[in-house]
Each structure stands twice: as C-alpha cells, then as structure tokens.
Amino acid sequence: MPTPFRIDTSRIDDISVMVLDGQVDAHTAPRFEEAIQAELTAGHQRIIADCAKLTYISSAGLGVFMSFIEEIRESGGDIKICSVIPKVQATFEILGFQDIFDIVADVPAAVQRFRESPVKEA
C-alpha cells in the first residue's frame, strides 16, 4: 500500500501555500522535493508549508526543508511553517527547526510574518 501523501499548492498574492497532507517519509519525500522545486522554477520564492494535515515526518522529509532553505534565502525568499501538530512539532524541535525556520500558528499568521519579516531574523 503506498504511503498516503498529497500536496496541494495555492497562492495568496505572491506567496505559495503548500498543504502537506499525510506522511512524508523516504518514499514520499521526493514528491515534496519536486513540489518545492517546481515553485522555485516558476520564480516563487515565498513558500508557506501548511502542516495541519501532516501526520508524520521522518528525516527524509526534514532534510527536504533543510536542503532548500539556504538557496531560497539567498534569492530573497523564505519557507514559513505553520499549523504543526504536536508529534510533528516534537520531531522539528529535536532537529532545532525552531531556530532555523519561522514556525507560526496558522496560514494567516504565516502570511503576516512574510509581511513583517520576509526572511527569518537570527
């Protein structure tokens, strides 16, 4: 049985909102990677990862976030993460994601963060 995972991407002004739905593991991480790459190729450097429906993430998925962040910030964009459920939040925290990424409550808060702080401040 394939790992349940889908990504739906929509736009709010110049921001891409990617809804991650299901599980990101070694099997599905390449699809997540392709989806981010497609946004960058289209010139969309501002991305919100909406994790409300993300039920599980392994290091393969965490590695996708980390592999793009430098490139995106070098071109003036950012990835903001929002709506994270507690067990996924715990996984993020083990790897220190809260120091690397802006992690906020929901999509409106992530949009607002882009307005106030286009790139996470150190």
Partner 1 sequence: MAPGPLVLPQTPFTRRVPASTAGVRDASDALTKFFAERGLNSSSLWRFQVAVDEVLSNIVQHGYGGESDAPIDVTFELLAGEVVVTVIDDAPPFDPLSVPRPATTDRLEDRPPGGLGIHLLKSLMDRVEYARCEGRNRLVLAARV
Does residue number 122 form part of the binding site for partner 1 (CB under 8 A)? no
**Judged by CB under 8 A, which stretch of 10-18, 40-48, 56-64, 105-113 contacts partner 1?**
56-64
Q: Do 19 and 49 meet the contact criterion of CB atoms below 8 Å apart? A: no
Least distance to partner 1 from the beta carbon of 57, Å?
Answer: 8
Among 13, 41, 43, 70, binds partner 1 (CB under 8 A): 70
Q: Do 13 and 112 meet the contact criterion of CB atoms below 8 Å apart? A: no
Q: Hunting for tokens 């790992």 — which residue is that?
A: 3
The site map against partner 1 for 71-90 (x = CB under 8 A) is ----------------x---
Residue nearer to partner 1 on the CB measure, 14 or 74:
74
Residue nearer to partner 1 on the CB measure, 94 or 115:
94
The DSSP letter of residue 28 is T
The DSSP letter of residue 53 is E
Least distance to partner 1 from the beta carbon of 119, Å?
Answer: 16
List binders of partner 1 among 16-55 (CB under 8 A).
25-27
Does residue number 62 form part of the binding site for partner 1 (CB under 8 A)? yes
- Taken in order 70, 42, 114, 52, the sign of the CA dihedral is negative
Name 49's Cβ contacts closer than 8 Å, sequence gap at least 6: 18, 20, 65, 79, 80, 81, 82
